[in-house]
Amino acid sequence: METNNNIEKDIEKVFDAAKNIKQADLPMSFAEKTMQRINSAKPAPAVSAYLLLKVAAIIILVGLNVYTISRLLESPVQTEAVKVSMDDLVKDYQVTDVSNDWLNNKTSQNEQP
């Protein structure tokens, strides 16, 4: 009987212990440590600012190249067709006789023994 009473007292003390737990103070620098863990848990950004800068620079360079090439194709260099006729040649070199007799004559003279 006495044992049972003691057991009941112990059980009540256990229930009382549940109600008498005091608030504990936060450990030192709890907030700092928590913020560090939060920061380290942050997912890394898929595209970093540096990568964005590189992509932008490449786009600008390619764009400039395309623009330059397209401007060149729009205004092609004027290449005059060279049409040289015999008459133009005569005119340019001020040849009076267009015939080639003198040449033939010369040849014929050379052929003579």
Partner 1 sequence: MPIEIDIHALKEKKEDAFRQLVNAYGKDIFNLCLKIIPNTEDAEDLSQEVFVKAFNSIETFREGAHIKTWLYRIAINMYYDHLKWSKRKKRYAILQPLFNREDEPIEIPSNFQHPGIVLENKEHAKVLYAALETLPENQHTAFLLYEMQGMNYKEISETMSLSISSVEALLFRARASLRKKLHKYYSDYTSLKK
Alpha helices (H) along the chain: 2-19, 30-41, 49-74, 86-93, 101-111
| Angstrom distance (rounded) from CA 29 to CA 36 | 11
| Angstrom distance (rounded) from CA 42 to CA 52 | 20
Q: Which of residues 38-67 bind partner 1 (CB under 8 A)?
A: 38-39, 41-42
Q: Under the criterion CB under 8 A, does residue 106 sit at the interface with partner 1?
A: no
Identity of the residue, 33 or 91, whose beta carbon is nearer to partner 1 in the bound complex: 33
Q: Under the criterion CB under 8 A, does residue 16 sit at the interface with partner 1?
A: yes
Residues forming the site for partner 1 (CB under 8 A): 3, 6-7, 10-11, 13-27, 30-31, 33-35, 37-39, 41-42
